[in-house]
Amino acid sequence: MKDENRSVGRLLDVLAEARELVTEFADEANRSGAAEVALRESEERYRIHFSLTNDVMFSFDRQLTILSVSSNVERVLGYMPEELTGKPLAEANLLHADDMPEAVDKAQHVLAGEVYLSSIFRFVTKNGDIVIGEVSGIPLSRDGQVVEVIIVARDITKRINTENSLRESSERYLHILDSLPGAVCILKAEDTRFMFANQGFCALSGHEIRDIIGKTPVELKLPVGLDDFFSNGKPDAGSSQADLKKQRLKKKDGTTADVMVSSGPVKYAGEDCLILIMMDVTNYKRSL
């Protein structure tokens, strides 16, 4: 009877342990299930994000073979993801040939555990067009070892083209200003420092361009009758356009010039500025 009781007791102990194991397993399964659901939801959010933006995400293994590509690569570069998956980077023809060495070098740094941000590369679309991409890369590690390179490339072609157009337009604008017979200068509204002066202004003032840029009219001792254009040392940029006025300007050699001046607010290099256009009328005045 005692042996039977001991056997029953052991059986109850085993059952109790089994229940504990089952409970632990169930809890772990629930946690794993919840984690799996959360992972799937996270993946879906990322999939939706990358399908709606111009950010293309690539993953590469340590040999720089493409493991995965976000679906919007078709919209940005013209490729279906399956056309690129499994191909080595060097054979995928995704990058301009001149950009490949730098791209491989960046990838090797990521494989070494580094992160790089905002590098610019030229991508080649399926039909041969060039897309400018702003690229960031991070390492993906498992068990302390980098196993993948995650790359996010953002299409910035329109931004770059716009910046280039603005720069070209600005260069043409400055070329026109520089070739004008009158004296033209642009001063920053905040502190009245010269940001631009054409050759006509250099000839009128007697100062060389390297001595003008970054200085204020007061530092160059220019204002004699230009006080109307300054208030406490700052240009009166509040007015939309100043009338043509006769003023006096002190030259580098100490002599003065009579000038007709027109001024107005202008945007230059992203700054609020004042443009002054002057015509030397000294000789005309003396001839009267």
pLDDT confidence of 26, banded at 50, 70, 90?
Answer: very low
The confidence band for 245, taking pLDDT boundaries of 50, 70 and 90, is confident
- Per residue in 198-218, pLDDT (tens digit) is 999 999 999 999 999 999 988
Q: What is the mean pLDDT of the chain?
A: 79
Tokens of 58: 């690539």
* Mean pLDDT, range 158-185, rounded to an integer: 83
79 or 33: whose pLDDT is higher? Answer: 79
What six digits make up the tokens of 78? 């013209």
Long-range pairs for 237-241: beta carbons < 8 A, 24 or more residues apart = 237/189, 237/265, 237/272, 237/273, 237/274, 239/264, 239/265, 240/264, 240/265
Count Cβ atoms within 10 A of the Cβ of residue 264 and give its class: 0-12 exposed, 13-18 middle, 19 or more buried: middle
The whole-number pLDDT of residue 132 equals 96
Three-state helix/strand/coil letters over the chain:
CHHHHHHHHHHHHHHHHHHHHHHHHHHHHHHHHHHHHHHHHHHHHHHHHHHHCCEEEEEECCCCEEEEECCCHHHHHCCCHHHHCCCEHHHHCCECHHHHHHHHHHHHHHHCCCCEEEEEEEEECCCCCEEEEEEEEEEEEECCEEEEEEEEEEECHHHHHHHHHHHHHHHHHHHHHHHCCCEEEEEECCCCCEEEECHHHHHHHCCCHHHHCCCCCCCCCCECCHHHHEECCEECCCCCCCCCEEEEEECCCCCEEEEEEEEEEEEECCEEEEEEEEEECHHHHHHC
* Domains of the chain, earliest start first: 2-157 (3.30.450.20), 161-287 (3.30.450.20)
Q: Given a cut of 90, is residue 65 above it in pLDDT?
A: yes
Assessment of whether the complete model's pTM goes beyond 0.85: no
Copy the structure tokens of residue 276. Answer: 């002054």
Contact assessment for residue 187 and residue 231, using Cβ atoms and an 8 Å cutoff: no
